[in-house]
Amino acid sequence: MHFQSTILILPGLGDSGPQHWQSIWQKEYNFIRIEQKDWETPKCTDWINSINTEIKKHNPAEVILVAHSLACTTVAYWAQKFNIKIKGALLVAPSDTEADSYPTGTNGFTPVPLIKLPFKTITVISTNDFYVTTARAEQFATVWGSEIVNIGDAGHINAASALGQWEQGLHLLKKLDN
């Protein structure tokens, strides 16, 4: 599969390890990972500034963000602050930073921005994600203006979900790349 856009990988809390589909994609397709200063106790302002710094290195009209978990919320905060039109974003397993199940230690990621994102998005959700209810994930996606893709029981759509290269996700990314 070939991608014509600049693809930026945005891992969530704790980063994405080598068995995570984001890391597999990065290695296979030479996508660019946006590195964060602090993966364990992040500050939202730091994360959105890291995104903006990387996007400014490229033509925004050709950038697609691939966000997982907390990075989905980060993309919404970034869009709210900078309002830059990019080509699109694949938002996978958005976590609910306002839920009791959400890990402590993050700063500035609440409330989850409920705004229409100024670019095309696809939000991928699972029916048994520990970090967000299906109803809440659908609420985020709807307000963000996303196409919603529910992939069933896939947990947090991370390395523990054992998706490997995650072909379905690549096809969704390709939809944004066209």
Burial call 51-79: b when 16+ CB within 10 Å, e when fewer: beebbeeeeeeebbbbbbbbbbbbbbbbb
Cα 76–160–46 angle (5° rounding)?
A: 30
- pLDDT one-digit tens code per residue, 38-95: 999 999 999 999 999 999 999 999 999 999 999 999 999 999 999 999 999 999 999 9
Task: Please tell me the pTM assigned to this model.
Answer: 0.97
Q: Would you say residue 13 has pLDDT above 90?
A: yes
pLDDT of 86-132, one tens digit each? 999 999 999 999 999 899 999 999 999 999 999 999 999 999 999 99
pLDDT-based confidence at residue 1 (cuts at 50, 70, 90) = confident
Q: Give me the pLDDT at residue 92, please.
A: 98
Domains, the chain, in order of start with CATH, read: 6-177 (3.40.50.1820)
pLDDT (0 to 100) of residue 36: 96
